[in-house]
Homo-oligomer: A and B are copies of this chain.
Amino acid sequence: MDAIGRIEKALTAALAIAEAPGRPPRLAEAMRYAVFPRGARVRPRLCLAVAMACGEDVPELTDGAAAAIELLHCASLVHDDLPCFDDAATRRGRPALHLAFGEPLAVLAGDALIVLAFQALARAGAAEPSRLVGLLSIIGDAVGMPFGIAAGQAWECEPRVDLGAYQRAKTGSLFAAACMAGAAAAGLPAAPWRAVGEKLGEAYQVADDLRDAAADEEEAGKTTGRDAVLGRPSAALTLGIPAAVRHLEDLVGEAAAAIPDCPGREALEALILFEARRLVPKSLALTAA
C-alpha cells in the first residue's frame, strides 16, 4: 500500500472509534467533515517517509502516530478558524466547520479530535508498548505548552510576540514531531530528527504565506489575503515574493542536509526535494523553477 493509502486507512480506523454505535451523531459528522476529504496530508506523509528511511519494523505504530499527527493538525485548523480567532469563512474549499455545524460543535469537534489522536495512539501503542512513552511525549509536546501548536496560537494573544517562537510553535512543532515520531516508531533515537522537521516546517510556513499573498482562493482552498488584513507576520509580505520563494528553497535544502544517517537517507532526501516543488503555489511556479 502506498503512503497515502496507509494514512487514509489509519485515519478511517481512528474515525471508526468516534463513530461507534451510541455516538452523538452530529459531533461524529463534524469530526469527519474536519478530516475528510483529505488535504495534502503533508505531516503524516513525512512521518511515514522518515519511519521507512529508519527501517520501519512495526508499521502499525507508524500508522497510529501518523494518524494522530494529522488528527491534531485538523483539530488545530478547526479551532483556528473559530470566530474568536481567524473567523475564517472557508477551509479546503468548503464552509469552515463552525459555519457548517455551528460554533458549539466546532469547539467540541476540535476537542474530540485532539483526544481521538491520543485514543488512536493508545491503540497503536499496543503493538510495541516500549515505544509508546517516547511517541506520546513527542506528539503531546508538539501540540501543547510551552512550544506546541496551542502555544503558537497563544502568541497571537500576547501584547509582545516573539515571532520566531510563534512560528516554531505554530508550524514547526508538528513538522518536527512528524519526523521525530517516524524515527521513534521505528525504534531509533528521535532527537536528531528535530532539525529536519523544523526546517521543513519553516519552509511550509513560507509556502503558506506565499499562498495567502499570491494564490487565488480556488487554488488555496481557503480565504486568502488574510495575513495582510489581520496584520499577521508573513515572509511573503516582509521579503517580497521572489525573495520568499528563494528563502523557501534554501530552507528545504537545509532540511535535506540535516537528515541523520539512516538506512534510507538518499531516498528520503530525494523525496523531500521532490515534494518541496509542490509547496510553491502553481501561479508562482515559473519564479520557483
A207 within 8 A of B: no
From A44-52, A110-118, A230-238, A260-268, the one touching the partner chain is: A110-118
Report whether over half of chain A's contact residues are helix, strand or loop; otherwise say mixed.
Answer: helix
Q: Let me know if B104 and A122 touch, CB within 8 A.
A: no
Number of copies: 2
User: A115 touches which one: B79, B150, B156 (CB < 8 A)?
Assistant: B150
Q: Let me know if B110 and A157 touch, CB within 8 A.
A: no
A155 within 8 A of B: yes
A5 within 8 A of B: no
Residues of B within 8 A of A3 (CB): none
Q: Let me know if B158 and A24 touch, CB within 8 A.
A: yes
A144 within 8 A of B: yes
Nearest neighbor of A21 in chain B, beta-carbon distance? B146
Bound form: Cα–Cα A265–B107 in Å: 41
A18 within 8 A of B: yes
Residues of B within 8 A of A21 (CB): 146
Mark each residue of chain A from 41 to 78: 1 if its CB lies under 8 Å from any CB of chain B, else 0: 00000000000000000000000000000000001000
> Which residue of A18, A85, A115 has the most chain B CB atoms within 10 A of its CB atom?
A115
Chain A residues within 8 Å of B, Cβ to Cβ: 17-28, 31, 75, 79, 82, 84-85, 102-105, 107-108, 110-112, 114-116, 118-119, 121-123, 125-126, 129-130, 132-133, 136-137, 140-141, 143-148, 150-151, 153-158, 165
22 A-B residue pairs with CB within 8 Å:
A17-B145, A19-B146, A20-B146, A24-B146, A24-B151, A26-B157, A28-B146, A82-B107, A84-B103, A102-B157, A112-B151, A115-B143, A115-B144, A116-B140, A118-B144, A119-B137, A121-B136, A122-B136, A122-B140, A125-B136, A126-B133, A129-B132
